[in-house]
Amino acid sequence: MQLIRQTFRDQMNLYVFVAVLFIVGVVFGALMVNALSLEQQQELSSYVGNFIHTMDSKTTSAHVQTFWQSAFDYLKWVALIWILGLSVVGLPFILVLDFIKGVLIGFTVGLLAGQFSWKGLLFALASIAPQNMIAIPVLFIVSVAAISFSLYMIRSRVMMKRNFTMKQPFLTYMTLTTTMAVVLLGIAAFETWVSPTLMQWVAPMLPEVALKH
């Protein structure tokens, strides 16, 4: 935790930049919903209803499979950012990934709000907000660490100073990313065993879902 706090203080400007980029992505994703045709919106709404109903019938083995799938998705995202941080040319792609993550969340929330109004927002708070309250800061931490390491490599190559060492920055980068990966495993567990319960509590409020019960 001390490492995380120190990194946050030293890289405040980068955190602000990444956060703003993410928020722009959220707004863009929410606006994308308006570009969908009525038929496309109805199909997605129906998919949401079917997804909720599958929660009731999941067995223990299915939950385990869901956990590993969720964990793989999270770790794949972090691994991609980590790899991009190891290369100088990967820096802009890290920012693109942060923007895309914002777009995905904004689109999901915008779709639910557009189809179910305030009830859709309530469902989004139950199904999306809890895990993302931790997952998004983790994404910011990993992204800023990757950007910082990439910038460090750029400075070392441009300035060509002998006192530049890659060992300690790389170990710090690796330790921080690994720690965040472990946190994401906990988020995947929450998403697998807790989020479905929250969604089932709120689901009856959604008209299309309530009709199917």
Residues 43-66: pLDDT tens digits?
776 766 666 666 555 565 677 888
Q: In 128-166, which residue ranges form alpha helices assigned H by DSSP? A: 129-159
Per residue in 24-44, pLDDT (tens digit) is 999 999 999 888 777 777 777
Averaged over 131-159, what is the pLDDT?
89
Length in residues, the chain: 213
CA dist., res. 154 & res. 74, Å (int):
28
Return the minimum-mean-pLDDT range out of 178-182, 194-198, 204-208: 204-208
pLDDT for position 174: 94
Identity at 108, one-letter amino acid code: T
How far apart, in whole angstroms, are the C-alpha atoms of residue 27 and residue 99?
10
* pTM score, whole prediction: 0.84
Average pLDDT estimate for 146-168: 79
Helix, strand, coil distribution of the chain in percent, nearest 5: 90, 0, 10
